Structures are given as C-alpha cells and as structure tokens.
Structure 1
C-alpha cells in the first residue's frame, strides 16, 4: 500500500465513478482499476462492489476513508515541513553562548531568526564554555558560540574561529585610577574587585601568577558573579574594578561608561571565540543564518575594538603633547 493508491481510492469515493476518478488522477481506466485492486489486496478487504463502471463503497471503505484522508494529508504536510526546513522556515534550533557574548548578541540574534522564520522554535542556553561543551557532546545543543579550544578535546567536534578576545582591567569612567599610568596590584586592591564567575580555572591561575596572588583567586575579590549585566552595574555605579575580556565590556566602552585601566604588568591573555558544532551533523538552514549573524557580530566587534584602541592611542598622544610643550 502507498499514498498514491490511497489518492486513487479517495478520488473514487469523492467522484463516485471510476471514469471520473481516472480522469481526475490522470490515469487510464485499467490503471486505476489495478491500483484499487492492489490496495484491496494490501488491506485484505473489499473496498467497492463493482456495478459496471460504477463502484459502490463497502462498509470497509466507509470505515477507512477518513483514515486514508489523514494519511494522505500527513504525507503532504510532512513533505511541506521538510521543504520548509530546507528553506530554514520551520524546525527547532538549540544553541548556547557564553554570558559575555550573550549580553549583546543573544537577543538581537533570536529576534532576527524568528522574524525571518516565524515557524522556527529556538532554545538558547547561556553558560560557561565547559558547560556548553558538555551539552553539545550530549547532543542537547546544535552548536554553541564560545571558546573554540573546547573543540580540541573531542574529535567529533569542529570549530570555526571568529574573534580573538583579549583581557584587561576595567573601571567606570571617572574612576580615581582612570588615566593613571602603570597601575600595580597594590593600587588595584585598594578598591573592591569583581571576579567574573564564568572565568575558567586556567584564566584564574594566569591572573594569580601574573599579579602574585594566592589561589583560590576568589579570596582576593570582594564580589563574584557569572552575570555580565551585574558586573556592568557594579563597575559603572561604584569604584569597583574588574578583569574582563574586551568582548564582555564592548558596549560599555562604546557608550563611554567604562574605561580600560593601564595596569602593570599587563594581563597578557587572549581567548579565541567562534562557533563549535558536531562534525557531520545535518543542521537546519536556519543554523547557517545564525552562523552568519555570529560572524557579522564578531566582525563588528573587532572593528569597534580597533577603533577604541586607536582613539585611546590618539588621546594618549595628544595628552603627551600637551604635557610637553615646545
């Protein structure tokens, strides 16, 4: 039995005669008759009592007709769903990203994807890269945006590097340390320090080694949170300072509410961010659109950071000239 035979059966039920049904489905009379006989053989019951060219439905046909309609309908809808999925218009997409990225990317990305594909169902997880890695390996995510080093742990994962994020120390605009040169840890520790709880252990150890701090590093910080929004609030509304990636504070730097501090020694760390997904897994076309949004976000971030650094260098040069008149 196949849906083609069911369509022939429904044509006869709806039109009442074999000839009308044959014309409707573009078959000859012998061909549609053979199709109906094959369907009866497959079901094991007679569907019609034949009276010349007219066919009278049996009780079996009357009992089966609505189910046949549902089967034909489901096949058409299934094909339509697959077509929509190929076009990225329907389906489910689960992904994750780190808190520092999600603050400025997640909302706009989800809105754009849903606007382009109203039938799309999105699920997003905001966590540290190690948690996202575990979720991806267990196939709870289609991909995540975060530290691409995670892909090296698992041969079934592939990564696309998109942005090299650097680290630094940041404070509110107008902070007593803003504009000071070669700030040391004794000067930093005079103010409340905020630790980003999403930082991994390798980053914490590097900070401890760079500034001669004992582990656990959290003991040297007044506050610890994995919510980037809270870190922004703490830093911009007080004299608190925080070590952070440039990507996590890019919006505050652009708005002028935060500034980078000139700390010595420099926090010589970087993190390559990008897209991590499973190798060989077929994704919805909407996933590729999501990747394009992520790539554009990081390209824009790189441009903004470069402009901010250029502006900072120009400001320092101008200040130096003002301090050394000819």
Structure 2
C-alpha cells in the first residue's frame, strides 16, 4: 500500500467511474483497475462494489476512504511544511540576545523580519552570554548574539565578530554637568562627583575606561547602580543627578534625545566591548534561522559603524 494507491482509491470514490477516475490520475483504465484491486488485496477488504455494471462504495469502504482522505491531507501538509521549512517560510526560530542589543538595535530588525516572514514564530531569550551559551550547548537555541569578550576559547563554537560599540556618558537635561555650552569638555574628576549607573562592566573594561579618562590606578570608577536592563537605567535619569555610562546606540532614539543629553567627556578611544554571533560548529542553522541571523548581524554592524 502506498500514497499513490490511496489517491487512486479516492479518485474512484469521487467519480464512481473508472474512465473518469483514470483520467484524473493520468492512468489507463486497466492500470487504475489493477491498482484498486491490489489495494483491496493488500488490506483484505472490498472497498468498491462493482456488481450490476456500476461502482459503489461499500460500507467498510466508507470508513477506509475517510482515513485515506485524512492520510492524503496529512501527507500534503507534511510536504508543504517541509518545503516551507527548507525555504524559511515557516517554522520556529529560538535564539538568544544580550540585554543591551535586545533593548536597542534588535527591535527594528525583528519587525522587519516579521513583516517579511509572517509564518515564522520567534522565541528570543534575553540574558548574559554564559546563560545563553548553556542554552546553545543544550540545543535550546540555534544561535545567540552578545558581548563575546569573556567567552573562553572553545573549538566547538563558531564566533563571528560584528564590531565594537562606542560608549558615552549621559545625564538628564538640566543636570549640573550639562553646562550652558553643551560642547564644553568635562573632566573625569567632575564626572566622579555624581552617582553613576551602567550595565555590568567586566573588570578589564573598567580598567580600560579608567585609562581613557586619565584616572590614577588607585582611583575608583564606582558604579552605584548596575543593571543589564538599559531601559530601566535610562528611566532613572529624569529627576536625578545620576550619570549613565552606556553604548551610544542606546541613546539614538528621538524620544530619548528629548530628555537626555550626551556629555562631552574626552576619550581617545570610546569603543569598548565586542559583539559577536555564536553558533555550534557541528550544527547547521535552519533556513529560517540563517535568514534571521544574517538580518540581525547586518543591523548590528550598521549600528556599530554609525555610532
């Protein structure tokens, strides 16, 4: 028994005429008759009553045909789903994203992806690189994009570098550091007189920032409020004297620029951190995941170059 035989049986049940059924399935009448007979022999049941020169479906045949139609429909849907998966038209993509990226450049990219591929369901995990790496190794996500500086060398991982984000210092409009001439440079000592908020900063990066600010080794670049939720940190600024240290791309939105200003803190190098796409070398991304990863990487590279 095979799907072709099921199609032959259904065609005959629809037409109750061997000639018309044979035309529908592109067979000769004799070939269709043999296929029907072989099918009935295989299952040990009579599907059609051919007496009196007419074709009729038997009572047991009605039950068999009900199942046959369902199997053919399931087969069609299965093949369509496979084709859609192959072409990236449908399916589920599970992936991971660092907190900063999830709050900045990623939303616009996801919107663009959804409009182009409405049949794809997305499951995004937002967390730090170590948590996302565990998800990746457990095959709970296909890839993740995050700050990859602290990821140790691993021959099982494939890492694609995407760029180095620029950082800046920000405060509310009207902050004591926001002088009449907003372009006036602010030295590190002035900066350290106020509480500072930031995402989590690795010790090595903290040392690099201290060096760029010309702070003494003994000086403390104290982070009073540390949180990986950048939107929460941004909302702390209005009405307070907190200074926010974060990537410039976070502050690129007009709604944010209206209430928050960039401080001119001279630094020869303001690029800290390294964004990267992380996958398992032995695992090939599904077509839908490949399309998504490429789109996200393009947006991140553009954001890195812009700021």
Q: TM-score, normalised by structure 1?
A: 0.77
Counterpart-to-counterpart distance in 2, 1:281 and 1:49: 54
Query: Is the CA contact 2:48–2:61 (under 8 Å) kept in the aligned structure 1?
Result: yes
Which string of whole-angstrom CA distances, capped at 9 and with x for unpartnered residues, describes residues 272-324 of structure 1?
Answer: 2132223343434333332343233223323422xxxxxxxxxxxxxxxxxxx
Superposition RMSD on alpha carbons, in Å? 3.3
Q: 1:247 Cα deviation (Å)?
A: 3.9
Query: Is the CA contact 1:48–1:56 (under 8 Å) kept in the aligned structure 2?
Result: yes
In the alignment, structure 1 residue 190 sits paired with structure 2 residue 193:
yes
Counterpart-to-counterpart distance in 2, 1:169 and 1:211: 19
Q: 1:229 Cα deviation (Å)?
A: 0.7
Unpaired segments of 5 or more residues in structure 1? Answer: 306-326
Q: 1:70 Cα deviation (Å)?
A: 0.8
Q: TM-score, normalised by structure 2?
A: 0.81
2:285 aligns with: 283
1:128 aligns with: 128
In the alignment, structure 1 residue 87 sits paired with structure 2 residue 87:
yes
Label 1:280 to 1:19 Cα distance change in 2 as closer, same or farther (>3 A).
farther
Query: Is the CA contact 2:186–2:263 (under 8 Å) kept in the aligned structure 1?
Result: no
2:298 aligns with: 296
Label 1:262 to 1:98 Cα distance change in 2 as closer, same or farther (>3 A).
same
Query: Is the CA contact 1:168–1:267 (under 8 Å) kept in the aligned structure 2?
Result: no
Q: Which range moves more in the overlay, 35-44 or 251-260? A: 251-260
2:181 aligns with: none
Counterpart-to-counterpart distance in 2, 1:22 and 1:241: 80
Counterpart-to-counterpart distance in 2, 1:235 and 1:72: 62
Counterpart-to-counterpart distance in 1, 2:285 and 2:53: 51
Find the residue that maps to 1:270 and give its secondary structure: coil
1:230 aligns with: 232
Counterpart-to-counterpart distance in 2, 1:7 and 1:151: 55
Counterpart-to-counterpart distance in 2, 1:6 and 1:150: 58
1:20 aligns with: 20
Unpaired segments of 5 or more residues in structure 2? Answer: 179-183
Q: 1:62 Cα deviation (Å)?
A: 1.2
Find the residue that maps to 1:161 and give its secondary structure: strand
Label 1:39 to 1:201 Cα distance change in 2 as closer, same or farther (>3 A).
farther
Query: Is the CA contact 1:148–1:160 (under 8 Å) kept in the aligned structure 2?
Result: no
In the alignment, structure 1 residue 259 sits paired with structure 2 residue 262:
yes
Aligned residues: 298
Q: 1:92 Cα deviation (Å)?
A: 0.9
Label 1:113 to 1:171 Cα distance change in 2 as closer, same or farther (>3 A).
same
Query: Is the CA contact 2:89–2:117 (under 8 Å) kept in the aligned structure 1?
Result: yes
Query: Is the CA contact 1:253–1:259 (under 8 Å) kept in the aligned structure 2?
Result: no
Query: Is the CA contact 2:142–2:279 (under 8 Å) kept in the aligned structure 1?
Result: yes
Label 1:251 to 1:131 Cα distance change in 2 as closer, same or farther (>3 A).
farther
Counterpart-to-counterpart distance in 1, 2:283 and 2:27: 42
